[in-house]
Amino acid sequence: MEEQQQYVFIDFEFTMPEGKANPTGFYPEIIEVGLVTVINETIEEQFSSFVNPLKFPVLTGRCKKFLNITQDQVDRGISFEELVALLKKIDEQHPTTIVTWGNMDMKVLRQNCQKAGLDFPFSGKENDLCLEYKRFFGDQNQTGLWKAVQAYGKEGTGKHHRALDDAITTYNIFKLVEKDKSYMKNHEPTTIGDRIDLSKVLNHLAL
């Protein structure tokens, strides 16, 4: 019997330097995780936690203000090692596809694992939904997560830049894009002549 495919929609929030000039040796570290696991279009589990950064444990004022979080919340979070162990456990449950909005989440996770001397926890495919959205709709620029969901006439879940809310919003966009892809696959694309009554356009131009 074929094993069920698991989708993990994941979002991280990261530390930030105070200004544009990075302090010596600074690199972004994960300070919040939100994830949703989905099998057969059913949410199996949700997880949310703050995470202790290893290298730069004290948050900058800019980071706290932008993410609207406190030092105390992060101090009471899980360790990075615990986060990696949890992600590994989730990955081992089923064949897994990781879905993120943009490529930063996996880049930072890889770098943080490398810096901490830990193995990268995921073994399956990675899907950058932002890139897929861009290709599907022919957008020139990368679209922000909440702007993308609003383009569908919807609103994001909860608060933007809260990891679990952004992970759920990513899942909601994934469902909308998959529905559109399925529709496009089952319908021949129309020509512009099918969509526009050219005689009306010509009459209008002649006025």
Catalytic residue set = 13, 161
- Identify the bridge partners of residue 38 per DSSP, sorted by sequence position: 7, 43
- Identify the bridge partners of residue 50 per DSSP, sorted by sequence position: 32
Give the Cα separation of 177 and 180 in Å (integer): 5
Give the Cα separation of 77 and 83 in Å (integer): 10
**Spatial contact of 28 and 55, defined as CB atoms under 8 Å apart:** no
First to last CA, the chain: 67
Which H or E run contains 38? strand 30-39
For residue 1, the number of C-alpha atoms closer than 13 Å in the C-beta half-sphere is: 3
Give the Cα separation of 152 and 175 in Å (integer): 11
**Spatial contact of 166 and 176, defined as CB atoms under 8 Å apart:** no
**Which residue spans within 51-188 are E strands per DSSP?**
96-100, 125-128
